[in-house]
Structure 1
């Protein structure tokens, strides 16, 4: 409650932060800043020097955002009061609350459901005196049916708006790996005795994300007025999370050097990144990759009130020329590795946000989940931004709709053409694969830490008539014929189960066709003999990789290449097996090993070849790489034009980091924890650091320098911390060394009052 001088008609103001925050689902945000949602009333009490007489006195209120750029015409400033002074619908409103007394006036104020979000100044004029009532932040309201982000299910609202703990899926389609992520978008009330330590105001940071965008700098009035549209806000945030063109939050880096910043694998949550951006006076933080961009964007969107979830697409295509075809080059024996302008990522991570799309055709068809991608891959309208692309539009192949639907459609639907690069530099086409891209599209389940496969929300079953019809429709210029509607009637299903472990075997299918037999028709004249039938191609070759054991960092990787055929004759095969260290975005790092074998495949029997990748051969390269690509190129020696391909992207399981917290943990009381780590390799680890983080538990990331660690030794680190928020929290430990990328562990901490 604020105070004023004794001569003022205003004796104080109570913004009822605690009760307003509880009713507006913002109770986890600081109470020194009133944060409410549009379309829902909040209470403000004015303590007055004399009674307010209903019907005789007039209270005039003004709510404005954008300072000098506020405009009644553009909807960023509104004059209203008791009685109503506007008479306009869809404007701010005020009404007297029954809780008023002789010396106080309780007012219920409601912002319209389409009001621009952001920071507002609320002023009052009464009996000729002006008063600044409050500075408040207005958010989107997924609890109100009139808001464009309304989400009807309460469990989903809890998950996609309020949940601070989540899972981001990485790895590969055969090695799906969960990464726990701390979205950390809420901060509880901080006692006055600790206020000087508290600098991590996430509300202020997220407002600064909006105020730093280039649209605001170029035309602030228009930008402010557009902030009532979640599609506009989502597009702005997707541009602001990355840093190439607008001094955004994060700088991307897919190189082998992260000098001057942190490796993207260092981060465990959004909070440290956003607070570092603020601490550095909004200079871009170094560095991030796709899952980091997505995690930070999810935090900002959720705090602004837009339901958002993180989504991972496995075998994700980056189509640079918009032809829905990805060219992939494989080096033959003695050939150099060749890069393609296109690429296939092991996985790519973006977010989906829930909103209506009245800007698109056909009414509500394209409402719901919208893809937004903050990773700076391709410029859109001159900026590195992507979306919102309607998920319904992607499923239907409506690639003419805004925003960036063609790019996202290609990420999950593009066809792959594999080329074999010969030693002389020429390329020979091996296979064309329509089913490789867009597998196991994953997100966290509502209410628990399980993976949900949502592939069928993006595409029809691979190889189905509906899937091919939508693909052709997406490529066509004629969008009047209908995509999904003309696709043979397959409807969108829920989710597919996780993909199995069999690699895609390339090669051509068995072509048909015996020629017709010659002969002489009854009563006819003699005909020349028919040409001899062409030789039948060899039967299809099936290739797969089997794991002999779970691949673990620091241990030899043991696989088995298994070949089989339904043919009834033996086949002489030339088999080229190579292992490359790769970045997850498809960029080549180094060749680890390569060998050529000649083997015989006997009829109706499997040919099994062991593959061993020694730890000593991959360790140096895996400091830079993310996966091991095991590739088998098989040539039928009797039919050298028949070349078959199989590949497997192996993800090494991290060495365990064990985190424990002892005893009961209480708010504002010191607690004790311990981290244990065993050296997983047969070398001494150097330049080691331990980082600890956890929103609600630590106010900032803690870092410890660790001594060198000999092979087969265990290191223990004990530490103290003082939690400042109650409830279930997660404490994350990150171990880093010059010998490997970051290994992580975490433990759940239940903080009690």
Structure 2
């Protein structure tokens, strides 16, 4: 009988990429497929046709040293929990076979190799080798990461750009970010992240077996994004200079960070802060096939002693003091990943909180989660993982304390400030979506809530009178180049006249630190008749804040001191000053096609009271290779400058073109973005 040999094995890459919705990874040298769905290979035989009565085929699939051997059958019956290989029932040519390999919906993520063996009478065998990458599959109902809506799969898996939200709850700032999951080399780096992890280094077999579980994968990735316990991606830094690395505010996408980490031999990239950690984790999870989105919690508590109380101290003239180990970050960014939680029983499936920013150890390692969002709302602090820590981040009370000569002279409590707004990018739209109600029960707003930090209900006394109320109200969201207008409203609730000192104090602060020294203050005295109401209008001029604030925020406080009783009352507000946006215009934006040069105009108008200069950087995954830089000469106040750029899109779909202007004489970066729809040529 004539010998039967394997002449060629074709992985049918374009067909499988489309079938598995992995077309974005077409630049990868390996075939990329998703678990729980069959992949098709074509096998060309030579010598003679395959005879099902006398010949047989087997496929051996290997992940590291783990392997499974399966016969190639002529039956299409598949089981979602087992590996299966079968000949396409439509195949009539037994010399050119079409074979499907069906992967379990719970198969482990990673690089696979497979061998195809053909056995003939006399037990002669011939074999061929090939490789593929297997990812999670949110399109497969049996997969633990299945998410049932196509628009959400598009947003949380396929979207390679998005928005991060920073600033304050009253003035939310959209920050464009390029997740870059389909950029060359990013897929391989994300898979290598699993290989570099301590879990893999300690026991490859155990790691490979556990990689079937998104809970396990997400904890490994959460720990590996920061470099505190391992050869993780990013080194965090929150104060001082960044001369030996990159200022976290200058990153515009994950691709540069992951590429630098891989090319350095997996040495940590300097530097990251919360939004950078979260955005890079979002990239890794989307690459691995786990739906993921960045989340911003405004006024995020770090409760070091777990008593659900954050204490803030002020001087008797309204200067905020650094006296507490507890802290509130004006915003903090983490991620949510979608998965079922079979380990917790029913009711805890869905979005899970994961936080790669190194704050607290979890089981001895700097990682956080996955903590079910539903468990936070239901206060199920008995469940895994790290629920008490996350619960405090969104639910702690704030005690504001005035101290004088080492003594507490006033005290008030705010139960609304922490976790006041929790948001993420809306599905399919470049704006934020408020999801606070997913985390906590929302109280109906009262007249005084959050228009000031002190209300009648929350102003408690400790040797101080309840007879005077003070409200600090920003007249409108502050904008760079305009005065900050605010109002102090004082109400005398007693039938006694009062004479009071008024101390106003403004300090610049970073989002995650105590404020620096006072840069603006005002002091005066007011007379209050019985049952009187006084309204004081104040402003801070641009020249007074521009050189101090930049990308930072302002802590503004007012302290009233009763000259007769020396009772004191405090109100405070922390706010950001909105920067201008760069505008991007594209000619014929409705007719942009792949592989054809396009032009865009980036415009900046100087809102500052003095000339500014800097460097303009333009980038866009799928639109521009790398980054383009332009130096901007000093631009006088009120004047505009335009920069023309050209780009050649190389990917089809909705892409983000983003621009950032890093100013050299102010600690500030101006940003802008435009969504670009690219069609096939």
- Give the TM-score normalised by the residue count of structure 1: 0.83
Q: Do residues 267 (structure 1) and 219 (structure 2) align?
A: no
Q: Do residues 502 (structure 1) and 493 (structure 2) align?
A: no
Q: Please report how far the alpha carbon of residue 412 of structure 1 lies from its aligned counterpart in structure 2 after TM superposition.
A: 0.5
Superposed counterparts of 1:239-388, under 5 Å: 239-333=223-317, 337-360=321-344, 363-388=345-370
Q: Please report how far the alpha carbon of residue 617 of structure 1 lies from its aligned counterpart in structure 2 after TM superposition.
A: 2.5
Superposed counterparts of 1:533-572, under 5 Å: 538-539=466-467, 541-547=469-475, 549-572=476-499
Distance in 1 between the 2:139 and 2:74 partners? 26
Indicate the residue corresponding to 1:412 in structure 2.
394
Superposed counterparts of 1:645-724, under 5 Å: 645-663=570-588, 664-686=591-613, 688-724=614-650
Q: Please report how far the alpha carbon of residue 389 of structure 1 lies from its aligned counterpart in structure 2 after TM superposition.
A: 0.7
Indicate the residue corresponding to 2:433 in structure 1.
452
Calculate the aligned-residue CA RMSD, in Å. 2.8
SS of 2:554 mapped into structure 1:
strand
SS of 1:666 mapped into structure 2:
coil
SS of 1:708 mapped into structure 2:
strand
Q: Is the 8 A contact 2:506 2:520 kept in 1?
A: yes
SS of 1:746 mapped into structure 2:
strand
Distance 1:47 1:653, change over 3 A: same
Distance 1:557 1:335, change over 3 A: closer
Q: Is the 8 A contact 2:412 2:460 kept in 1?
A: no
Give per-residue Cα distances to partners, 1:476-497, cap 9 Å, x unaligned: xxxxxxxxxxxxxxxxxxxx99
Superposed counterparts of 1:411-450, under 5 Å: 411-422=393-404, 424-428=405-409, 430-450=411-431
Q: Please report how far the alpha carbon of residue 573 of structure 1 lies from its aligned counterpart in structure 2 after TM superposition.
A: 2.7
Q: Is the 8 A contact 2:318 2:558 kept in 1?
A: no
Distance in 2 between the 1:720 and 1:342 partners? 49
Q: Please report how far the alpha carbon of residue 88 of structure 1 lies from its aligned counterpart in structure 2 after TM superposition.
A: 10
SS of 2:516 mapped into structure 1:
strand
| More off after superposition, 451-460 vs 343-352 | 451-460
List alignment gaps of at least 5 residues for structure 1. Answer: 1-6, 72-76, 188-199, 464-495, 513-534
Superposed counterparts of 1:474-489, under 5 Å: none
Indicate the residue corresponding to 2:138 in structure 1.
142
Distance 1:510 1:213, change over 3 A: closer
Superposed counterparts of 1:60-71, under 5 Å: 60-66=58-64, 70-71=65-66
Indicate the residue corresponding to 2:81 in structure 1.
90
Distance 1:220 1:347, change over 3 A: same
Q: Please report how far the alpha carbon of residue 538 of structure 1 lies from its aligned counterpart in structure 2 after TM superposition.
A: 4.1
Distance in 2 between the 1:511 and 1:34 partners? 65
Give per-residue Cα distances to partners, 1:137-171, cap 9 Å, x unaligned: 11111111111111122222222222223222211
Q: Which has the higher strand share?
A: 2
Distance in 1 between the 2:608 and 2:473 partners? 26
Distance in 2 between the 1:411 and 1:654 partners? 27
Q: Do residues 47 (structure 1) and 28 (structure 2) align?
A: no
SS of 2:284 mapped into structure 1:
helix
SS of 2:561 mapped into structure 1:
strand
Q: How many residues align?
A: 664
Distance 1:633 1:679, change over 3 A: same
Distance in 2 between the 1:603 and 1:30 partners? 76
Indicate the residue corresponding to 1:522 in structure 2.
none
Q: Do residues 173 (structure 1) and 169 (structure 2) align?
A: yes
Distance in 2 between the 1:19 and 1:587 partners? 56
Give per-residue Cα distances to partners, 1:639-687, cap 9 Å, x unaligned: 434x33222222111123122233443322222222222333233334x
Indicate the residue corresponding to 1:391 in structure 2.
373
SS of 2:282 mapped into structure 1:
helix
Q: Is the 8 A contact 1:506 1:645 kept in 2?
A: no
Superposed counterparts of 1:493-642, under 5 Å: 502-505=451-454, 538-539=466-467, 541-547=469-475, 549-603=476-530, 606-623=533-550, 626-641=552-567
Indicate the residue corresponding to 1:117 in structure 2.
109
Q: Is the 8 A contact 1:506 1:644 kept in 2?
A: no
List alignment gaps of at least 5 residues for structure 2. Answer: none
Distance in 2 between the 1:536 and 1:385 partners? 43
Indicate the residue corresponding to 1:19 in structure 2.
15
Q: Please report how far the alpha carbon of residue 576 of structure 1 lies from its aligned counterpart in structure 2 after TM superposition.
A: 1.8
Distance 1:562 1:336, change over 3 A: closer
Distance in 1 between the 2:209 and 2:157 partners? 24
Q: Please report how far the alpha carbon of residue 296 of structure 1 lies from its aligned counterpart in structure 2 after TM superposition.
A: 1.5
Give per-residue Cα distances to partners, 1:220-262, cap 9 Å, x unaligned: 2211211111011111111111223322222222114221222
